[in-house]
Amino acid sequence: MSERKVLNKYFPPDFDPDLIPRRKQPRNSQQVVRLMAPFSMRCNTCGEYIYKGKKFNARKETVDGEDYYGIKIFRFYIKCTLCSAEITFKTDPKNTDYAAEHGASRNFEPWREEQAGEEEDRLAKLEEEENNPMKALENRTTDSKREMDILDALQDIRARNARNERLGGSADLLAKLDMEEIENEEDLERKRLEEKDEELVREVFSKIPSASTESPSETVTVKRKADATEPSIHSLLSETSRSLLDLKASVKPPAAKKVKKNTLGIKVVKKQKT
């Protein structure tokens, strides 16, 4: 079975590629390319926003009479996604970016404004130094002083890092100190509670000299009660319980019944007179 997708083509022995006619195309012909929007823009016709990265089927052409140090500039044509109005933008090799040309306006990007302002300040500074030698000397002095300050700050940071490495790291040292403080506080609290317990035990238990032995060095541990005299159980009961106990003690128990069996096996119960 032959392959469905053939990579190798058959060329006959008398094949001559020079005899193949060449297509004549215009010098600046447009090509259809697939691209993504290089920046976010807004359509000038309908006001639709087109975000950066949206894909389009665009037409590409070379801009006639424009280049940047021999680098060609290309123009792209796309259509708005809402109203199908034509939008064009072209490459900007000078700023390594794209520039909106027709049909849409580029959205405001603050970082681009900052970069442009910095570039303008740099160019103005260079122009001023060219016209004023004293200003150039002042700028060089200021720059050298700034560099020395930066080097001093960097040296301080290196010395601090080296000291922290010798001590085992500042973070580890702080953590160890915090743990030691916590352990010391816990030990003090535990010791205070133990002393309180010991004091309570000394209050409850006391040691007196033993009377059975002649030597006064021997002592006997005696547990002290809350009161000098121990209350009776009867006094601890309530009035109702004590009255019930007194009533039960005054009542006599009933006499036991005598059971007598006759010869026929019939049980005869005789009640005793009280």
**Upper half-sphere CA count for residue 124 (Cβ side, 13 Å):** 6
Burial 169-201 (b: 16+ CB within 10 A, else e): eeeeeeeeeeeeeeeeeeeeeeeeeeeeeeeee
80 is in an annotated binding site: yes
239 is in an annotated binding site: no
**Which residues are part of a known binding site?**
43, 46, 80, 83
Binding residues for Zn(2+): 43, 46, 80, 83
